[in-house]
Amino acid sequence: MNGLLEQKAVVVTGGGRGLGQAFAVHAAQAGAAVVVNDVDVEFAERTAEGIRAQGGRAVASGHSVADPKQARAIVDRCVAEYGRIDGLVSNAGVNYEALPWQEDPDQVRELIEVNVLGVVYTGMAAAEAMVAQGGGGSIVNISSGASLGQRKLGVYAASKGAVASLTYSWALDLEEVGIRVNAVCPLAHTRMVWKSERSLRNCPPDRTPSRIAPLVLFLLGENSAGITGQMIRCNGPQLHLVGQPHFKAPILERDVWDTESVERAFDEVFSAHLEPYGLEKRVPPKLRKWTENPLRTA
């Protein structure tokens, strides 16, 4: 949608390749002046050059979102170059697969530093600059359907769950200064998907990053005024909201819960209300005798 982001200055982190590159290119085509950030600076440069070659406005930043000073420098670059910041797409991310007992603490730390702290640091700096220029703006965090729980992706899933919680909390905090905060759960062919045989199997070839960009542009633009605190998933053909976790009825009450009364609560009440868990919605063992179809295995 040409002109949707006219007069707007937008930062896209991790914009050197994959989804971030598509978000940066489409934002520029919609009229935004863009800071294309990527720790792989030559990829950021290449994306920015491509945008300029098409007549758009873009500069590159090779800072890492995982360092608070560098995250601030990304936002400072936007303000120095374009005089303001109107949008932030916190897209930079990493992932790997491991079973819980195979996790490497250094790899765990690195993932959390990029996927969680990176989103916090960049978002803090953007919100501060947006407030300083009089309020208003849009932050789009990139979460994942994996935040619901996925095999071999525990730490990645936890990082994306943290992004979801941050989105809901910051949407509350920033509403009064007119800054909206939403999260997007994408699915698209990128390096991240190519690395995993399972992800590749679940990602048909037509799921390109460009198919997710219109949703991100909508959330950055004025036409999504009034939309905040939402998590939205797009996998190419499907677009839907992701329901928020909530306190589930029945809520039992008594002055004090001892272990015996907790056990009775599970036996007599909660056993009928247990939740299927994880992205695959696995039924808890206690319920399987009721849900598994004996005729199917007979």
Q: Which amino acids are annotated catalytic?
A: 156
DSSP for 195-243 reads T-HHHHHTS-TT--GGGTHHHHHHHHSGGGTT--S-EEEE-SS-EEEPP
Candidate list 5, 10, 24, 38; residue touching ligand NAD; CB under 6 A: 38
Binding ligand NAD by CB under 6 A: which of 4, 9, 20, 155? 20
Binding mask 103-142 for ligand NAD (x = CB under 6 A): -----------x---x-----------------------x
Binding mask 75-104 for ligand NAD (x = CB under 6 A): ----------------xxxxx---------
The answer to the question of residue 65 lying near ligand NAD (CB under 6 A) is yes
As a whole number of angstroms, the distance between CA 101 and CA 177 comes to 44
Q: Which CA distances in Å does 283 have to 64, 196, 275, 280, 294?
A: 40, 25, 7, 9, 15
Per-residue buried b or exposed e for 79-109, using 16+ beta carbons within 10 Å of the residue's own CB: bebbebbbbbbbbbbbbbbeeeeeeeeeebe
Per CB under 6 A, does 190 bind ligand NAD? yes
Is 161 among the residues that bind ligand NAD (CB under 6 A)?
Answer: no
Nearest approach in angstroms of CB 165 to ligand NAD is 16
Give 276's strand partners.
none
CB of 129: closest distance to ligand NAD in angstroms? 18
Among 55, 176, 191, 290, binds ligand NAD (CB under 6 A): 191
- Of residues 216 through 255, those in contact with ligand NAD by CB under 6 A are none
What are the tokens at 194? 């190519």
Q: Positive or negative CA dihedral for 56, 62, 63, 66?
A: positive
Alpha carbon distance 184, 170 (integer Å): 15
Q: Which of 24, 25, 36, 39 binds ligand NAD (CB under 6 A)?
A: 39
What is the enclosing helix (H) or strand (E) of 160? helix 154-174
- Residues whose CB is less than 8 angstroms from the CB of residue 269 and which lie 6 or more positions away in sequence, other chains included: 250, 252
Question: Is residue 211 involved in binding ligand NAD (CB under 6 A)?
Answer: no
Q: Which member of 5, 33, 43, 82 binds ligand NAD (CB under 6 A)? A: 43
The answer to whether 66 contacts ligand NAD (rule: CB under 6 A) is yes
Provide the binding-site residues for ligand NAD, judged by CB under 6 A. Answer: 13-14, 16-20, 37-40, 43, 64-66, 91-95, 114, 118, 142, 144, 186-188, 190-193
